[in-house]
Chain A
Amino acid sequence: MNGSAANASPSRAAALTLAWRYASFRSEGFPVLPVLIIVVFVLTALFANVLAPHNPEVGTLGDRFHPPAWQDGGTGEHLLGTDHLGRDVLSRLIFGARVSLVVGFMAVIFAGILGTVLGILSGYLGGWVDQVIMRITDAWLALPALTFAIFLAAIVGPSAMNIVIILAAVYWTRYARVVRGEVLSLKEREFVRLAIVAGCSKRTIMRRHILPNVLNSTIVLATLMLGVVIVTEASLSFLGVGVPPPQPAWGLMLADGKKGLMAGYWWLTVLPGTCIMLLVLAANLLGDWLRVKLDPQLRQL
């Protein structure tokens, strides 16, 4: 992109730079595009009932494998076609956004709470508390996340709520690590010492002086983790240990559609795949921007 811009006329190069920046692949500008994508997905999820033209879980077997409307054989009735059970793909995508976002946000929040609390305890109290929590974290991080999630899912059984718990249980370690590091440097700061000599208890100091100061990092990490968590949820659903079948989850749609790929039913896999990609990319770009904005080590004066 930059290469072609360099050869072009100056005004075109400037326009391209501007577009580049607006697409927020650069850190300076507010990431308009990613935020727009996320907002669209969130609104879709919120108003899925209103937006979806059909019931996402019920299809008509006579309407199987309709292609999208613009292809030969497509109908205006099913804008993005139908799947092997005759269910409307657009409606399933719309309700799938709800599953992905609800599971994604809740998992990120639960993991964030758990990881932040343990990270603060570990970093501030030190000693054996730190040793125990950090050794558990190390062991946890050594397990491959997806395998571990599948293992947990096999134990507790598939349901959307269980997926949230599993994802939180798998990903809290990242928060614990980052927060602990932050706390180690915070607790040497003068204002924490002042709180100590002013007679505050450890609990008061952790709650009032440490927690508010690590929230920045936690929020950045949560945004970056959102993409990871959504992909993991889709993977679990794809593998059949995630959201249970009649529910419309993107990972599940991929799994159902993959058999039709060779038969030319591309819309069953490409469309949910695109949704996952867009959402994850948007979350990552937003997270990167937030990190540069909020991380004092990367912030330029």
Chain B
Amino acid sequence: MKLLEVRNLSTHYVSSRGTRVTRAVDDVSLAVDEGETLGIVGESGSGKTTLALSLLRLLPPAARNVGGEIWFEGEDLLRISNAEMRRVRGKRIAMILQDPLASLNPLFTVGDQVAEPIRVHEGASRGSAWDRARELLRAVRIAAPEARVREYPHQLSGGMRQRVVGAIAISCGPRLLIADEPTTSLDLTIQAQYLRLLRDLQRDHGLAMIFITHNLGIVAKMCGHVAVMYAGRLVEAGPVARIFSSPAHPYTQALLESIPRMSDGRQRLTAIDGQPPDPVALPPGCAFHPRCPKVMDRCRVEAPPEFRVAEAQVSRCWLSG
């Protein structure tokens, strides 16, 4: 059984008068196995973050979940009560935010913050939660955890703060970790460290992970499966090796071609022509057709359904049909 299975999820932003609807997440289906890493890639505004927030039911007030199912460990997260959902957050599904360095409250000690989810979810006493906090800090390889628990975030280096954030994420033994562009705010050397930390956590604790990024290099390094989003839709999904070697959707192909390569100095860096579409006024038919090099008449009028290209690889393109 899949750990997480999202079926036809749609989340729309509705303007205050209800006149304009933005389809931030439109009919998205995906699945994650135990211990597997799924990468979600796409340009800014393609709906990646809204998708992640939909999974945790933490949508901003203007967003509405208009349909679909989110099956996690045998229950539909869209049908449980708010109180039950709160017990899922942090305990069974943990999330890591974009800026790990700003994720700690400057006024509390490290121990208090690592212990907080344990106390909230398991009602543990302060003492036993602190004992657990020390173990967790040791698990994320922070030296001298006995001393560190009593320190404040500003006393720690950037790398240690990341580890503390990692410790908070795994504090209640979640099954799934959602990382929403966890490395965009970091410089490259720290990025590599952080990715290694996440991978170690995943391996040591058997976590499944959803990794949201716009960096295909990170996807290649971290993920087993990848899903490509464009204008709120999932345009292609499959195992990383297949998608990178034989992408079926022209958008995926264009994305892969826009990665600079060191080996071939003569090749020009290609960019995708045009602009990402205005999410309020999506073009009719396939949303990618105005920028697609292989556009056909049919693409302009009719949106393509999901076609199965190969084992576990799907694509929303008429060429794949």
Contacts and interface: CB of A to CB of B under 8 A. Distances in A.
Given A194-B103, A194-B165, A199 B89 contact: yes
Size category, B interface: 20 to 34
A194 B91 contact: no
B154 to A, nearest CB: 13
B104 interface: yes
B218 interface: no
Interface stretch (B32-40, B115-123, B237-245, B290-298): B115-123
B39 to A, nearest CB: 20
Contacts of A196: 58, 89
A209 B117 CA distance: 13
Contacts of B77: none
Contacts, number: 64
B107 A198 contact: no
A190 B90 contact: no
A201 B98 CA distance: 22
Given A199-B91, A199-B117, A191 B86 contact: no
A62 to B, nearest CB: 62
Size category, A interface: 10 to 19
Contact of B121 (A126, A199, A208, A209): A199
Contacts of B165: 194
Contact of B94 (A189, A197, A200): A197
A212 B152 CA distance: 14
Interface string B149-170: 0000000000000000100100
A208 B116 CA distance: 10
A12 interface: no
A198 B120 contact: yes
B90 A198 contact: yes
Contacts of B104: 191, 194
Return the 10 tightest CB-CB contacts between A and B, nearest first: A199-B90, A198-B90, A199-B89, A190-B102, A197-B95, A191-B105, A194-B103, A190-B103, A198-B117, A212-B107
Interface of B: 56, 58, 61, 86-91, 94-95, 97-99, 102-108, 116-117, 120-121, 165, 168
27 contacts: A127-B61, A190-B97, A190-B98, A190-B99, A190-B102, A191-B102, A191-B105, A193-B97, A193-B103, A194-B97, A194-B103, A196-B58, A197-B89, A197-B94, A197-B95, A198-B89, A198-B168, A199-B88, A199-B91, A199-B117, A199-B120, A200-B90, A200-B117, A200-B120, A201-B120, A208-B116, A212-B105
